[in-house]
Chain A
Amino acid sequence: QVQLVESGGGVVQPGRSLRLSCAASGFTFSRFGMHWVRQAPGKGLEWVAVIWYDGSDNHYADSVKGRFTISRDDSKNTLYLQMNSLRVEDTAVYYCARDYGPIDYWGQGTQVTVSS
């Protein structure tokens, strides 16, 4: 079955960096676009970034553009999110999710807390 497992979250000071990973299994990872979506405390879901199935294109929410980078390693079936210049408002649970037209499968998320 499809599984997406995020890791790499933690507590970090404002201005620092963090890299999230998402290990995929149960499907042919290289055939699917992938997203990162986050949920701040007490808030709804916010889309963060997408990478095409072949890595040829990517897009970002304005709130993270220029600070976050999405990438993938198909040899490891892993999706990444490099987060630089973190801000307090980036505090959230970060989910990776598979694109099947609609987003169909999600991981359980990893918590990122940005605090001094």
Chain B
Amino acid sequence: EVVLTQSPATLSLSPGERATLSCRASQSVSNYLAWYQHKPGQAPRLLIYDASNRATGIPDRFSGNGSGTDFTLTISSLEPEDFAVYYCHQRFNWPPLTFGGGTKVEIK
């Protein structure tokens, strides 16, 4: 099973600041890595797929990069609606599909 480790667990930032979230895989997942945004009571939202491709309708302040075992999600300038929990997810080696433990981006 591929274990995904996200860091930090919590990121305290102000609107307008840059957020950098990390996801490390226990073995290579090639570029089959996605990022989701999740707010309480809502459906998770796909942001990035295949490591660096923005999903439909996602603003360009969200970007992803990486391959193999190390990946990053960057939010270039935080908007108020960006404060949420972010999960990485791999579909290279499955079953099982696996998710990271999440990074909570909170308002400082």
Contact = CB atoms under 8 A, between A and B. Distances in A.
Interface residues of B, number: 24
B24 interface: no
Interface size, A (range): 20 to 34
B91 A95 contact: no
A107 to B, nearest CB: 6
B96 interface: yes
Interface string B7-40: 0000000000000000000000000001010100
Q: For the complex, would chain B's binding face be called helix, strand, loop or mixed by DSSP majority?
A: loop
B97 A104 contact: no
Given A44-B87, A101-B49, A103-B34, A95 B44 contact: yes
Interface string A45-73: 11100100000000111100000000000
B87 A45 contact: yes
Interface of A: 4, 35, 44-47, 50, 59-62, 95, 97, 101-109
Interface of B: 34, 36, 38, 41-46, 49-50, 55, 87, 89, 91, 94-102
